[in-house]
Amino acid sequence: QVHLVESGGGSVQAGGSLRLSCTASGVLFNIAALGWYRQAPGNEREQVATIDRHGNTNYADSVKGRFTLARDNLKNTILLQMNNLKPVDTAVYYCATGRVADLSQPNYWGQGTQVTVSS
């Protein structure tokens, strides 16, 4: 079992920045990747960014150049730095992890944290 605890999020004006943090605990030896998904009202949940155990990152096209994902292996924590935020980034952001490197089918989810970007 893996437990994910998220922090960060909040409200910001367009062009601003926020940082999300997610710390994993529990049985982690077979976890291949950590990352973030988001879901806006009326939309399906979409993958935002992932990082595998080797530090390789992958980003959705919509956030490339604006979001940066990093991990602290000693703390089992990932940090999503979100810059130049846009109203379309408004969503509930979920930390996720799983045994598949591309995190296409996460096995565990965090509780979610709200990000609101106003114009």
* pLDDT tens track for 60-118: 999 999 999 999 888 889 999 999 999 999 999 999 999 988 899 999 999 999 999 99
* pLDDT tens track for 18-74: 999 999 999 888 888 999 999 999 999 999 999 998 999 999 999 999 999 999 888
- Among residues 31, 28, 23, the alpha carbon closest in space to that of 111 is found at 23
DSSP 87: G
Query: Integer distance in angstroms from the first to the last C-alpha of the chain?
Result: 40
- Cα gap 94→38, rounded to integer Å: 6
- Cα gap 83→89, rounded to integer Å: 11
